[in-house]
């Protein structure tokens, strides 16, 4: 059994493309072309060149000595925070903008939660000279002001999503509606491994560079490609998908997925989809999502805008359902504490999303000789105000 996508666009029973007919031509165009284009040697050359010279890849795999000493195990950090624009998101936007160009698209839309994907999209649009519109929940615009400013400076138009919970879910709805209204000239750069097939697979493939590099780097440092554990935070799940990608079917490697418990999984203010979700359809994908008994999608909560999503990508739903991955839910408080700890032990201020992954060390005991790789998916500059407010710094 493979944990990767099958020919029909499903991971186990999750995935597919549950889309209105209005989106069919766009999705079908992508489905027929995404592998052909992204496997083309000239595409690969351009993609890899940009990842190297523009993004700054490979990102280091850093042995976190003091953090490892504290938890008496061997912790490596995959430094996606050192990428241009400050997170893993840019790996995917570089891939998709090159794809959009080859499809002849002249306008780009995107959704964003924390603003990292919005910034990464605005960045590649500036790089290619293509018009860019980013949808962002009104609440997220308020709590991620620095990223809003960055997008504007990069020349993107930021449109507030005013419907529903006014966060990532609603920004995604608005982006899809924009696409319905502009079906011919526009490409929608989805920022995570969510949405209708082929998006989950396409985004996972562009993020797969993360695990590809981990294999080489770990081999150099430890003499083995295989860590004992991979740890990544999961909102929609793109940094996690990239971290797991080349290890999905390698059972020697344990997978840990970290979700946002918000104020606690039982408080009604949480985004821990694996615990609180049921199978259903969100944004065109059959997956696990938080919903009422009547099938209405509920409003998630997390201190971290990037994890504040009521679903997970279908790859992760399948990893959960099959037991391939262990899912751990981390509260706001635990995450904030872990973020401060990394700052003071290693001199690295992580994004609050990433802090959730780091909080696993307080939850779970590892053996001294375990090799653990955590995807340090983003840097904390955008979250400074939240950290300052929380710790009264």
Partner 1 sequence: MNRINKKLEQDKKLLSIYFTAGYPNIDDTLTTIQNLEKNGVDMIEIGLPFSDPLADGPTIQASSTQALKNGMTSELLFEQLKDIRKTVSIPLIIMGYFNPMLQYGVDAFCKKCQEIGIDGLIIPDLPVDVYHSDYKSIFESYGLINIFLITPQTSDERIRFIDSVSDGFIYMVSSASTTGAKSGFGDEQEAYFTRIANMKLNNPQIVGFGISNSDTFTQATKHAKGAIIGSAFIKHVTDNGVNTIDQFVKTII
Select from 240, 374, 246, 229 the least CA-distant residue to 307. Answer: 240
Return the SS3 of 274: helix
> At its nearest, how many Å lie between partner 1 and the CB of residue 279?
8
Please identify which residue in 3, 10, 14, 17 interacts with partner 1, judged by CB under 8 A.
17
> At its nearest, how many Å lie between partner 1 and the CB of residue 181?
5
> At its nearest, how many Å lie between partner 1 and the CB of residue 343?
37
Q: Name which of 15 and 86 has its Cβ closer to partner 1.
A: 15
Letters for 286-325 (x = contact with partner 1 by CB under 8 A, - = none) are: -----x-xxxxxx---------------------------
Please identify which residue in 177, 215, 263, 321 interacts with partner 1, judged by CB under 8 A.
177
173 touches partner 1 (CB under 8 A): yes
The backbone torsions φ and ψ at residue 319, rounded to the nearest 5 degrees and listed phi first, read -65, -35
CA distance 156 to 169: 20
Q: Name which of 24 and 391 has its Cβ closer to partner 1.
A: 24
Residue 162 CB contacts under 8 Å (≥ 6 apart), including other chains: 138, 170
Select from 92, 74, 75, 73 the least CA-distant residue to 83. Answer: 92
Instruction: Give 258's strand partners.
Output: 233, 328
153 touches partner 1 (CB under 8 A): no
Which listed range, 81-89, 215-223, 277-285, 347-355, lies at the site for partner 1 (CB under 8 A)? 277-285
Q: Name which of 87 and 109 has its Cβ closer to partner 1.
A: 109
62 touches partner 1 (CB under 8 A): no
88 touches partner 1 (CB under 8 A): no
Please identify which residue in 57, 117, 150, 169 interacts with partner 1, judged by CB under 8 A.
169
Q: Name which of 219 and 278 has its Cβ closer to partner 1.
A: 278
CA distance 125 to 134: 11
Q: Name which of 268 and 295 has its Cβ closer to partner 1.
A: 295
Q: Distances from the Cα of 188 to the Cαs of 95, 104, 239, 326, in angstroms?
A: 13, 13, 19, 32
CA distance 37 to 54: 21
Select from 273, 277, 279, 280 the least CA-distant residue to 258. Answer: 273
CA distance 290 to 312: 10
Q: What is the dihedral of CA 191, 145, 210, 105, to 10 degrees?
A: 40
> At its nearest, how many Å lie between partner 1 and the CB of residue 21?
4
183 touches partner 1 (CB under 8 A): yes
Which listed range, 36-44, 61-69, 169-177, 348-356, lies at the site for partner 1 (CB under 8 A)? 169-177
> At its nearest, how many Å lie between partner 1 and the CB of residue 18?
5
3-state helix, strand, coil in the chain (%, to 5): 45, 20, 35
Number of helical H runs and strand E runs in the chain? 17, 14
Letters for 99-138 (x = contact with partner 1 by CB under 8 A, - = none) are: ----------------------------------------
278-282: strand order across its sheet:
10-11, 14-15, 285-289, 278-282
Site for partner 1 in 22-41 (CB under 8 A): 22, 24-25
Which listed range, 144-152, 165-173, 209-217, 255-263, lies at the site for partner 1 (CB under 8 A)? 165-173
Pairing relationship of beta strands 325-331 and 254-262 according to DSSP bridges: parallel
* Active site residues per annotation: 89, 111, 377
CB atoms within 10 A of CB 153: 11
184 touches partner 1 (CB under 8 A): yes
Residue 45 CB contacts under 8 Å (≥ 6 apart), including other chains: none
Q: Name which of 183 and 268 has its Cβ closer to partner 1.
A: 183
Q: Tell me whether residue 104 is exposed, middle or buried, using C-beta atoms within 10 angstroms of its C-beta: 0 to 12, 13 to 18, 19 or more.
A: exposed
Which listed range, 111-119, 260-268, 279-287, 362-370, lies at the site for partner 1 (CB under 8 A)? 279-287
268 touches partner 1 (CB under 8 A): no
Which listed range, 86-94, 178-186, 330-338, 384-392, lies at the site for partner 1 (CB under 8 A)? 178-186
Q: Which residues bind partner 1 (CB under 8 A)?
A: 16-22, 24-25, 163-164, 169-170, 173, 176-177, 180-184, 278-284, 291, 293-298
């Amino acid at each position: 059994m493979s944990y990767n996508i099958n020919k029909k666009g499903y991971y186990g029973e999750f995935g597919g493309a549950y889309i209105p007919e209005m989106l069919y031509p766009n999705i079908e165009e992508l489905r027929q072309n995404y592998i052909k284009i992204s496997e083309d040697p000239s595409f690969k050359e351009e993609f890899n060149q940009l990842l190297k010279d523009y993004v700054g890849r490979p990102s280091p795999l850093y042995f976190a000595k003091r953090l490892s000493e504290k938890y008496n195990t061997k912790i490596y950090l995959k430094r996606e925070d050192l990428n241009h624009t400050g997170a893993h998101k840019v790996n995917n936007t570089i891939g998709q903008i090159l794809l959009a160009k080859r499809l002849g698209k002249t306008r780009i839309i995107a959704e964003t939660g924390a603003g990292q994907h919005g910034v990464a999209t605005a960045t590649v649009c500036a790089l290619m000279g293509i018009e860019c519109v980013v949808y962002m929940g009104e609440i997220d615009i308020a709590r991620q002001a620095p990223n809003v400013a960055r997008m504007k400076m990069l020349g993107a138009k930021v449109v507030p999503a005013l419907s529903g919970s006014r966060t990532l879910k609603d920004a995604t709805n608005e982006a899809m509606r924009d696409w319905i209204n502009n079906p011919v000239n526009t490409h929608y750069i989805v920022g995570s491994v969510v949405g209708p097939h082929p998006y989950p697979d396409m985004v996972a493939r562009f993020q797969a560079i993360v695990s590809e590099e981990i294999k080489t780097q770990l081999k150099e440092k430890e003499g083995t490609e295989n860590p004992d554990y991979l740890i990544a935070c999961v909102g929609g799940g793109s940094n996690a998908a990239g971290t797991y990608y080349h290890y999905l079917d390698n059972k020697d490697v344990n997978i840990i997925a970290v979700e946002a418990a918000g104020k606690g999984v039982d408080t009604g203010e949480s985004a821990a989809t694996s615990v609180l979700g049921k199978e259903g359809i969100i944004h065109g994908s059959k997956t696990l999502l938080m919903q009422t008994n009547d099938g209405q999608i509920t409003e998630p909560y997390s201190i971290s805008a990037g994890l504040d999503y009521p679903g997970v990508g279908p790859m992760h739903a399948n990893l959960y359902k099959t037991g391939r991955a262990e899912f751990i839910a981390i509260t706001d408080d635990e995450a904030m504490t872990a973020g401060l700890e990394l700052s003071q032990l290693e001199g690295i201020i992580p994004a609050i999303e990433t802090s959730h992954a780091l909080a696993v060390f307080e939850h779970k005991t590892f053996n001294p000789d375990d090799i653990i790789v955590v995807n340090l998916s983003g840097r904390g500059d955008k979250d400074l105000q939240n950290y300052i407010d929380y710790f009264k710094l």
